Amino acid sequence: MKVHLTRRYMIAASHRLHNDKLSAADNREMYGKCNNPYGHGHNYAVEVTVGGELNQQTGMVCNLAELDECVRREVLERFDHQNLNTRPEFAEQVPTTENFAVVIYDILKREFRGTHLEKIRIEETANNSFEYCGPAKLP
Amino acid sequence: MKVHLTRRYMIAASHRLHNDKLSAADNREMYGKCNNPYGHGHNYAVEVTVGGELNQQTGMVCNLAELDECVRREVLERFDHQNLNTRPEFAEQVPTTENFAVVIYDILKREFRGTHLEKIRIEETANNSFEYCGPAKLP
Amino acid sequence: MKVHLTRRYMIAASHRLHNDKLSAADNREMYGKCNNPYGHGHNYAVEVTVGGELNQQTGMVCNLAELDECVRREVLERFDHQNLNTRPEFAEQVPTTENFAVVIYDILKREFRGTHLEKIRIEETANNSFEYCGPAKLP
Amino acid sequence: MKVHLTRRYMIAASHRLHNDKLSAADNREMYGKCNNPYGHGHNYAVEVTVGGELNQQTGMVCNLAELDECVRREVLERFDHQNLNTRPEFAEQVPTTENFAVVIYDILKREFRGTHLEKIRIEETANNSFEYCGPAKLP
Amino acid sequence: MKVHLTRRYMIAASHRLHNDKLSAADNREMYGKCNNPYGHGHNYAVEVTVGGELNQQTGMVCNLAELDECVRREVLERFDHQNLNTRPEFAEQVPTTENFAVVIYDILKREFRGTHLEKIRIEETANNSFEYCGPAKLP
Amino acid sequence: MKVHLTRRYMIAASHRLHNDKLSAADNREMYGKCNNPYGHGHNYAVEVTVGGELNQQTGMVCNLAELDECVRREVLERFDHQNLNTRPEFAEQVPTTENFAVVIYDILKREFRGTHLEKIRIEETANNSFEYCGPAKLP
């Protein structure tokens, strides 16, 4: 019996969408007001979904304390109350929420061994969300 | 790397569930209070999910301004603050939220070319929602 | 010790904002898209607040079953899944949410005797709400 | 055209996470504060997803009144305003929310014949949710 | 310039509404399914509102870290993941949410000196909330 | 008959809490992680409450289109997708959410003449909100 668990964490962070390799005009056209020079911010809701066989003895699919500790140490400490543009993870790529989802997925895929990581979903605002389930398998 | 983007739009509309081909008694039994003759209404939350390869240059999966403009022109202008029963899309079918989801899916599948349309989800009330992912592929 | 209790009820209804005493042009200017001829609808969240002394024996401020039964009989049965414009309460006044709040306040003030009615608050959409606390007392 | 319908129901219940076959120390380490001897509680939001072909005549995928009646009789009457640990369904297993999801899935799979049951999702808190889609098919 | 700050905390707890001084029949009539012998539970959302003059130097009305620490120590540690009926605060009174609001108000009034306590509001469920602002002043 | 209308607007902005007149150590102690040098951000939900006599002819308390246009021009254009620390309104004061509420109140008090401004409420996060009702009247 396979069960999925989704856990929600909040990250208050700022970012500016800007690609140094493009002209100012192209950046403005591409990113609109998200290209404002001093940045802006969001309360990102990050949902981590893990899945696996239900442990018959514990009745649980994942040790929640271990997941929380891993997310706190590897994700919240890096990004909460930070400016994403100043982080090394975004030195070579624009801190869009799409890229943010991939970055968090890759971190947790590497660091959290307890249960299979299924998906990262980020709500950027109440009307916008993004999901990443890892690299697609080859057919 | 495939990422999904979901964007949420609100539509305030009214409808009456009634099938002219059925008797009054059958309509009442089938649709209950949703068959009241003068109609009633909802704040429909329409969630549009698109998905595709992450563009390495922009860090985005979809041009949000293009999606918003398409949904505004093709969906919100047609249905927001309207009575669904008076719309040509529902001349031959009952404006259930199931059918509403299929109608919106078909419109956006035709009109929005920017990114692959994955799913339409409509919340009719806080306790009721419907999803349509397009016609199932043959095996 | 005075305590307030707020209870939330949902009403799915349709309405059209239109004043017969005004010209079509004035109606359109005043009410905008809410003046569309066939009406539109909302999921109204109606919050009823009552207040009074905490009963030391029961530890309650209001008999919730009595309040629910009164709201069901006097408010939900009249307005849920209805077109507000066809209701006698709106024969002489436009069914704005402001007027709807006053109508519900007056009904419950008359019909619910169990605990003092303090306020009616209606959420018309996630971004719009209206409150009415009864006629202001003279100074 | 296959459509999914999701319906949300609330269950206020209490539980204590404790496995009689383990030592007190192991229980405390495994379940943390959820192992407190007198139990605690939650407002569980149970989302039932069913899916099937859209009925062309009715425009519906499921008779909602039948689903509501089945869930009321088979799920809400058993678990709402109850202590899960005292229920026979949890005589042999710990009432984790994972197990609760499987229990509700199995009940509705057996009792609700109207439309294909796709998924049970339970929100235990605003930050925690669990999903179960039935036993995985063999490859 | 007086500003109010409201801070929201979650408490998962169980309770049973029962007054030992009343008969079993009276208890059942008064409290309905909330009188079930083994109790049930809720995710209580406790909102603490404090108010005062805006400090011109800090731009803040309250030291949030101090408030959080006080609520954690005095409220969450006592009630979170507990059965309210087993707590000494409810030895002589029924653990209704009305009484729970008064108990929390009295604790914080005594323990939190940083900023004036204005109100305790508890959401018992998504549809039920209770507010207490302290003993009314004599006229 | 006096009715209150509350309208909700979203502002995505970044800020850093830092007072130049204090030492680095004092700033860090006072503002904690909100003092991080590169700032962070929020989705601020700004609720504007106005109140007045219900207009008998229109059934409305406020021209919503006028309010929306005023808030868009005077508030959203200044602050949405901006870094609050770079705005002239915060040249002499720390951009706490308390001060942000006062700033918005003062702008709308001056610019919106249609209906009496009653209150500004800002949700900084799902767990934090601030209210300002204008300068207290002298007794």
E6 pLDDT above the threshold of 80: yes
* Residue C58 to residue E94, Cβ atoms within 8 A: yes
Looking at residue B29, what is its pLDDT?
92
Point out which residues pair with D132 in neighbouring strands: A3, D120
Among candidates A1, A9, A65 on the partner chain, residue whose Cβ is nearest the Cβ of D135: A1
Mean pLDDT of F78-100: 97
Single-letter amino acid, residue C123: E
Work out the mean pLDDT of chain F and round it to a whole number: 95
D111 pLDDT above the threshold of 70: yes
- DSSP readout, D46-82? EEEEEEEEPPTTT--SS-HHHHHHHHIIIIIHHHTTE
Single-letter amino acid, residue E88: P
* Residue D43 to residue E125, Cβ atoms within 8 A: yes
Work out the mean pLDDT of chain D and round it to a whole number: 95
Looking at residue F136, what is its pLDDT?
74
Q: What angle do CA F78, F122, F68 make, to 5 degrees?
A: 50
10-residue block means of pLDDT along chain B (139 residues)? Answer: 97 96 94 94 98 94 95 98 97 97 98 96 97 80
CA distance C56 to chain F (A): 32
Considering only CA atoms, which of B123, F125, B64, B49 is closest in space to residue A130? B49
Considering only CA atoms, which of E23, E24, E26, E13 is closest in space to residue E86? E13
Encode pLDDT of E59-73 as tens digits.
999 999 999 999 999
Looking at residue C138, what is its pLDDT?
54
| D and C adjacent (3 or more CB pairs under 8 angstroms) | no
pTM: predicted TM-score of the whole model, two decimal places: 0.95
Q: What percent of chain A has pLDDT over 90?
A: 96
Encode pLDDT of B76-115 as tens digits.
999 999 999 999 999 999 999 999 999 999 999 999 998 9
Chain C residue with CA closest to F60: the answer is C98
Alpha carbon C36 to chain centroid distance?
22
D138 pLDDT above the threshold of 60: no
Encode pLDDT of F10-22 as tens digits.
999 999 999 999 9
F50 Cβ contact list (under 8 Å, min separation 6) = F4, F5, F61, F62, F67, F112, F114, F115, F116, F117, F118
E128 pLDDT above the threshold of 80: yes
> Sign of the C-alpha dihedral, residues B110, B112, B118, B124?
negative
Kindly report the number of other CB atoms within 10 A of residue B69's CB atom: 12
On whether any CB of chain B is under 8 Å from the CB of D23, the answer is no
- pLDDT confidence of E136, banded at 50, 70, 90? confident
C139 pLDDT above the threshold of 60: no
Looking at residue E131, what is its pLDDT?
98
- Coil/strand/helix, residue A66: helix
Looking at residue B119, what is its pLDDT?
97
Mean pLDDT of F68-91: 97
Cα–Cα dist B66/B47, whole Å: 16
F137 pLDDT above the threshold of 90: no
Contacts of B96 in chain C (CB under 8 A): none
* Residue F94 to residue E58, Cβ atoms within 8 A: yes
CATH class of the domain comprising D2-132: alpha beta
Q: What's the length of chain C?
A: 139
- Coil/strand/helix, residue B15: strand
Looking at residue B136, what is its pLDDT?
74
Mean pLDDT of F90-110: 98
F139 pLDDT above the threshold of 90: no
On whether any CB of chain B is under 8 Å from the CB of D21, the answer is no
Instruction: Select from E19, E96, E109, E122 the residue whose CB has the most chain C CBs within 10 Å, as the one to mutate to test that interface.
Output: E96
Q: Which sequence positions of C are flagged as catalytic? A: 34, 81, 124
* Residue C65 to residue E98, Cβ atoms within 8 A: no
Helix (H), strand (E) at residue B84:
none
- pLDDT confidence of E137, banded at 50, 70, 90? low
Is the Cβ–Cβ distance between A96 and A123 less than 8 Å? Answer: no
On whether any CB of chain F is under 8 Å from the CB of E53, the answer is no
Point out which residues pair with D14 in neighbouring strands: D41, D83
Question: Choosing from F29, F66, F69, F81, which is the catalytic residue?
Answer: F81
On whether any CB of chain A is under 8 Å from the CB of D95, the answer is yes
Contacts of D60 in chain B (CB under 8 A): 96, 98
Cα–Cα dist F15/F118, whole Å: 26
Burial bucket for residue E5 (CB in 10 Å: 0-12, 13-18, 19+): buried
Q: What percent of chain D has pLDDT over 90?
A: 96
F138 pLDDT above the threshold of 90: no
- pLDDT confidence of E43, banded at 50, 70, 90? very high
Annotation marks residue F81 as catalytic: yes
What does residue B111 show for φ and ψ, rounded to 5 degrees?
-95, -30
Q: What percent of chain B has pLDDT over 90?
A: 96
What does residue F9 show for φ and ψ, rounded to 5 degrees?
-125, 150
> Sign of the C-alpha dihedral, residues D79, D84, D87, D90?
positive
Q: What percent of chain D has pLDDT over 70?
A: 98
- pLDDT confidence of A136, banded at 50, 70, 90? confident
Per-residue tokens: B36: 């009241």
Kindly report the number of other CB atoms within 10 A of residue B19's CB atom: 16
Work out the mean pLDDT of chain A and round it to a whole number: 95
Encode pLDDT of F10-53 as tens digits.
999 999 999 999 999 999 999 999 999 999 999 999 999 999 99
Locate all alpha helices (DSSP H) within F1-139, ordered by sequence: 24-31, 64-71, 77-79, 97-111
Residue located via tokens 């169990």: C114
Single-letter amino acid, residue D54: L
Considering only CA atoms, which of D59, D45, D65 is closest in space to residue D112? D65
- pLDDT confidence of F102, banded at 50, 70, 90? very high
E139 pLDDT above the threshold of 70: no
Cα–Cα dist B131/B46, whole Å: 10
Mean pLDDT of F111-136: 95
A88 Cβ contact list (under 8 Å, min separation 6) = none
Looking at residue F32, what is its pLDDT?
94
C82 pLDDT above the threshold of 80: yes
Kindly report the number of other CB atoms within 10 A of residue C96's CB atom: 25
Question: Which bin fits B41, alpha (ψ -120 to 50), beta or left (φ > 0)?
Answer: beta
Q: What is the C-alpha end-to-end distance of chain F, expressed in Å?
A: 26
- Coil/strand/helix, residue E21: coil
Question: Which bin fits E18, alpha (ψ -120 to 50), beta or left (φ > 0)?
Answer: beta
* Residue D86 to residue E38, Cβ atoms within 8 A: yes
Per-residue tokens: C118: 């303090």
- pLDDT confidence of A19, banded at 50, 70, 90? very high
Q: What's the length of chain A?
A: 139
